[in-house]
Amino acid sequence: EITNKPINMVSAEDIVGVLEGRGWEAEIVEESKVPTLIKTSPHGLMKCVDGRPSDHPAMDGPKTLGGVYAIATNRGVTDLDGLKKIVEEVKNKGFVPSVHGDDHAHPAPMGCGFFKLWSQGKLEGIPPPKFDSEEGQTAVLEAGGVYEQLSGAHEEKVVYINLVPGTTFAPNGDDQAFVVDAWIAGKFDLDVPKYLVSAASTVEQLGGPLKAKLIIPSDPLTPEDVVGVLKGRGWEAEIVKESQVSALIATSSNGLMKCVDGRPSDHPAMDGPKSLGGVYAIATNRGVTDIDGLKKIVEEVKYSGSVPSCHGDEHAHPAPMGCGFFKLWSQSKLDGIPPPKFDSEEGKAAIIEAGGVYECLSGTHEEKVVYINFVPETTIAPKADDQAFVVDAWITGKYNLDVPKYLIAAASTVEQLNGPLKAKLIVPDPNNKASSLTDLKSLCCCLPN
């Protein structure tokens, strides 16, 4: 879950003013107007802001100055032991620590322009390291980090300064940009002015573009907005408070993270969160289509305190195709979501192999309503004689999912499965301090019609 301290004392307008004072062009842009902004994943590299192509595939991690060197320079860490501790810290906070070089520097790790400036004492107020680029590379690898190699020349046209937590830009070799995910400063308690001045100075000294776009969060939607979107799709929808839903129960760490399907299960642990197809909800939202990526998601769900699962039913052939969500996914019927490169039986086998659970559902679909639940750490257990689709939307925050994409996929799934176009949005009671409407608003961003 992406939680971080706010970037205090520095507003987007302040940053624009400072940059313009240094001779830059700078403008503020809302996230909803930036279609290339993507969610970060725990498998993406925490990598350098450098916009050149990489030999590593995991480009959906946060972009920082020199990767882990961003933290070292900000804190004044100059020794290898301190660097290794930072690598461990980055791993413990759910990121993949990295440094880089390129294909034409000698030695290769000096291909990181930020490290080069640091090592030459050219970053004002920041003491240079007591190690060279190769020693830094070795230390990062020894501590469990990653080294990536970039290729080609710098052709960045713009600098993105991204203030939207849990998001980033993937490098595009044909349209290069420096990407400074400034929200990371809150995650690691960094000195924000020092960090941003270092970023500006680095771009300037590397002859980069003095043109910045500051990406800020769009205003969140209200529950009323979500109701409006559903009604625009032909649904009936209403908002109810958690105290009005007697079937709402607390989740437990022993409960399955299982499908929203309302049919009875052969597994007893029904007090886990309900998601689209179980773990397939995360895979589809992040664009994961391979078995290795699926297994990593299973590990992530276990680490996050839930029991990962998928399901089939007693009359499908093969049985795992009894998951209607997986069937739609595999048939490319979920708009904007690429289909998996594996079939239902291969998916089932991979989930079990990675430590997940397979459940078998029985009977026919008789769901009468769709519960869209925004009350954190709660759910509704399936009830055979009063079936309902249960979409625990609060898990989007826990797994840093794209909320609009998730809710649209949920609506589309119900529609294509001929389910009930009737929704109840369950929101926290105002007096419940454990789950406030602030949490809900942080989930519901930019839901399209």
State the pairing for strand pair 167-168/38-39.
antiparallel
Summarize pLDDT for 43-74 with one digit per residue, the tens: 999 999 999 999 999 999 999 999 999 999 99
| CB neighbour list of residue 99: distance below 8 Å, 6 or more residues apart | 48, 66, 67, 68, 69, 109, 112, 115, 136, 137, 140, 145, 147, 148
Query: What is residue 221's predicted lDDT score, i.e. its pLDDT?
Result: 66
Task: Return the closest-CA partner of residue 247 out of 364, 360, 388.
Answer: 388
Average pLDDT for residues 20-29, to the nearest whole number?
97
Residues 386 and 366: their CA atoms lie apart, in Å, by 8
Query: What is residue 402's predicted lDDT score, i.e. its pLDDT?
Result: 86
Token pair for residue 123?
């970053």
**Could you tell me which residue, 8 or 309, shows the higher pLDDT?**
309
For the chain, percent of residues with pLDDT exceeding 70:
94
Q: Note if the pTM is more than 0.85.
A: no
Token pair for residue 161?
């300064």
DSSP-assigned letter for residue 430: T
Query: What is residue 431's predicted lDDT score, i.e. its pLDDT?
Result: 74
Sheet containing 211-216: order of strands: 25-30, 211-216, 159-162, 178-181
**Could you tell me which residue, 66 or 41, shows the higher pLDDT?**
66
Token pair for residue 22?
């240094």
Please name the residue that has the structure tokens 């895979």. Answer: 283
Query: What is residue 22's predicted lDDT score, i.e. its pLDDT?
Result: 97
For the chain, percent of residues with pLDDT exceeding 90:
87
Average pLDDT, the chain: 92
Residues 129 and 118: their CA atoms lie apart, in Å, by 7
Query: What is residue 35's predicted lDDT score, i.e. its pLDDT?
Result: 85
**Could you tell me which residue, 434 or 188, shows the higher pLDDT?**
188
Summarize pLDDT for 223-258 with one digit per residue, the tens: 888 899 999 999 999 999 999 999 999 999 999 999
Helix axes 192-205, 12-21, angle to 10 degrees: 40
Angle at 291 between CA 287 and CA 296, to 5 degrees: 75
Secondary structure of 59-117 in HEC code, one letter for each residue: CCCCEECCCCHHHHHHHCCCCHHHHHHHHHHHHHCCCEEEEEEECCCCCHHHHCHHHHH
Token pair for residue 188?
């690691």
Query: What is residue 432's predicted lDDT score, i.e. its pLDDT?
Result: 65
Separation of CA 64 from chain center: 16
**Residue 203 phi, psi (nearest 5):** -60, -45
Average pLDDT for residues 69-97, to the nearest whole number?
97
Query: What is residue 16's predicted lDDT score, i.e. its pLDDT?
Result: 96
Judge whether 175 and 129 are in contact, CB under 8 Å. Answer: no
DSSP string, 282-315: HHHHHT--SHHHHHHHHHHHHHTTSEEEEEEESS
Sequence length of the chain is 449
Query: What is residue 163's predicted lDDT score, i.e. its pLDDT?
Result: 96
